[in-house]
Amino acid sequence: MLRVASWLRRALALGLLAMAAPLAAGAQVTVSMETGQLLANDGLRPGQSRWQPEAATATGAISIVVSVSLQRAYVFRGTTLIGVTTVSTGQPGYDTPTGRYRILEKQVTHHSSLYENAPMPFMQRLTVEGIALHAGVIARSGNPVSHGCIRLPPAFAQRLYGMTAIGTVVIITDETPNTPEEALTLAMANPGL
């Protein structure tokens, strides 16, 4: 834990990481009284995220939808959206594989065995080949810059890590959901996998 904290302090001091940010001007987040589901007009800039702590107490399993085309991840508990974040997926030549995965392993402090011992805080492994969700740099341009993993803003990665378990479903897609409801449809397809 000390190594993660030290790495995060160094990265923040160098301006490499952007923490969760407030809503962009004009962006709206509302809760539908009829469904209790959080609705978001995105408005997020690279490195920003939103987390609804009151929605995190909803019932149901956690599921995560990552849209490579949007560079976004949506986190649901049951049918309730509890968080949305910008992400950074694989750059050209290091494409993030699409498909339906389950979290195989979790480590608060992890370092890459493939890429010069690079830190991967709050790592949640999705494939045996090493694709994972983890805290990392989100390019200011919003372009994918990872070596195939899904980088999350640090504060969001930490919250997500605390909510998930081995076996949590993660859907990685090239689709471009226009709304959180469309992302939920992707999460609900073939729930038994």
Mean pLDDT along residues 111-120: 73
- Using CA atoms, how far apart are residues 68 and 136, in angstroms rounded to an integer? 16
For the chain, give percent helix, strand, coil, nearest 5: 20, 30, 55
- Using CA atoms, how far apart are residues 172 and 61, in angstroms rounded to an integer? 17
Tally Cβ neighbours within 10 Å of residue 60. 10
When pLDDT is cut at 50, 70 and 90, the band that residue 189 belongs to is confident
Residue 193 maps to a domain:
no
More confident residue, 88 or 187: 88
Whole domain around residue 131: which residue ranges? 2-188
When pLDDT is cut at 50, 70 and 90, the band that residue 110 belongs to is confident
Which domain CATH number covers 63?
A: 2.40.440.10
More confident residue, 75 or 114: 75
Residue 119 maps to a domain:
yes
> Any idea which of 77-86, 107-116, 129-138, 182-191 has the lowest mean pLDDT?
107-116
pLDDT at 35: 29
Could you report the per-residue pLDDT of 121-140, keeping only the tens digit for each?
999 999 998 899 999 999 88
Using a pLDDT cut of 90, give the percent of the chain over it: 55
Could you report the per-residue pLDDT of 141-180, keeping only the tens digit for each?
889 999 889 999 999 999 999 999 999 999 999 999 988 9
pLDDT at 84: 96
Can you read off the two tokens belonging to residue 100?
């339906």
More confident residue, 13 or 75: 75
- Using CA atoms, how far apart are residues 141 and 168, in angstroms rounded to an integer? 30
Residue 126 maps to a domain:
yes
More confident residue, 88 or 56: 88
Number of domains comprising the chain: 1
Q: If we measure between CA atoms, which residue out of 120, 123, 112 comes closest to residue 161?
A: 123
More confident residue, 83 or 31: 83
- Using CA atoms, how far apart are residues 156 and 111, in angstroms rounded to an integer? 19
Q: Whole-model pTM?
A: 0.77
DSSP 94-142: SPPPPEEEE--EEESS-B-TTTTT-B-TTEEE-STTS-EEEE----TT-
Residue 90 maps to a domain:
yes
Give, in order, the Cα–Cα distances in Å from 131 to each of 65, 112, 157, 169, 171: 15, 10, 15, 14, 13
Residue 30 maps to a domain:
yes
